[in-house]
Structure 1
Amino acid sequence: MTTYPANFCPYCGADLTGREIEGRERQFCPDCERVVWRNPVPTAGVAVVGAEGVLLTERAVEPGIGEWTVSGGHLELAESPREGAARELREETGVRVAPEDLTLLDTFSAAPFEGKRVVSVGFGVRRADTAGDPHPGPEVSAVEWFTPESFGDGGEVFHPPHGQRFEKAWRQFE
């Protein structure tokens, strides 16, 4: 299994070829006769909603430098989506939440970036159920509260499809 397209078999090192398997073109190793499955990367995020709006982050890393998102990122090996979402919120904004306080909000599959596709599990939480003052973490250039009416007033743009998660969180938790 790989996240990015592979050139060589991860099992034996042979050059991979393409083969139609189950109606799709797949990478295949002719030497060890294995399909090299390519899978999306699981991510998770959490929208914090309070009286001042939804807490958003401005990306300082690719993809989408300068675009705005709900906090989130890649799951680590032993994490549940709730645990990963809570960790990413803390790392990106300094805001803490107990994973069990998160409410499932949505899922989405983002457009591929450099050949990698992510699938994101989104959660929401009320600001009253969190702790800590928001501040930008290392992968974030700014954190701010926005309502649907205020977003874009300063030229802000969403990293797709985070606008839908923002809207859904606002409607569900306002």
Structure 2
Amino acid sequence: MRGVAYQTFYRLPHPVRRRVVRLIVPKYLVGAVAIIKDSEAADPGRLLLLRQPPGRSWGLPAGLLKKAEAPEVGAARELAEESGVVLDPTDLTPATPNAVVHAKGWVDMIYLGQVPASTTPLVVDGGEVLEAGWFSLADLPRLTPNTAKVLGLYGMGPNAS
């Protein structure tokens, strides 16, 4: 029976097959996240975090990718837009694992980078981002649940294993 279903499916015109797949398969939004460390800080290091509305918790520079945008380009763009930190996309390293699938329907591509905090000004717009700052990994502020989850995957923050 399964074989018959596949044969029938592959006989359909390509546009129809694509429409059928889009109706059946879950859809995911793809975002890019930048985990930026202070290159001058001694162990355990410092991390760039942002406080965004409503402003109760802190998170990482992140956002959705634009259509056909490479993930590392999106991570660098979001980092610059949200914090004023400008890095060339080639200065960001894909984290391992590079993709984090969230249960609520999006995938984050994670990138790591470093800048010297003492000479890197932080600039926020006050609308999308209320505040940006450097925080010791040993004394992080209250994190958003997604930020705690992502950092934990890379051995940082309250969920580090």
Partner of 1:118: 106
Residue 170 of structure 1 and its aligned partner are, at CA, apart by 5.6
RMSD (Å) for aligned C-alpha atoms = 2.9
> In structure 2, what residue type is equivalent to 1:101?
D
**Do structure 1's residue 60 and structure 2's residue 61 form an aligned pair?**
no
More helix by share: 2
How many residues end up aligned between the 2 structures? Answer: 130
**Do structure 1's residue 163 and structure 2's residue 151 form an aligned pair?**
no
Partner of 1:81: 71
- TM-score, normalised to structure 2's length? 0.68
Partner of 1:146: 135
- TM-score, normalised to structure 1's length? 0.63
Residue 169 of structure 1 and its aligned partner are, at CA, apart by 7.4
**Structure 1 ranges of 4+ moved more than 4 A:** none
Give me the whole-angstrom Cα distance separating, in 1, the residues matched to 2:155 and 2:88.
18
Judged with a 3 Å threshold, the aligned counterparts in structure 2 of structure 1 residues 107 and 119 are, in CA distance, closer, same or farther, namely same
Consecutive unaligned residues of structure 1, counting only runs of 5 or more, are: 1-20, 23-31
Q: Secondary structure at the match of 1:161?
A: helix
Consecutive unaligned residues of structure 2, counting only runs of 5 or more, are: 7-15
- Give percent identity, aligned residues only: 25
Alignment partner of 2:91 out of 79, 82, 101 = 101
Partner of 2:11: none
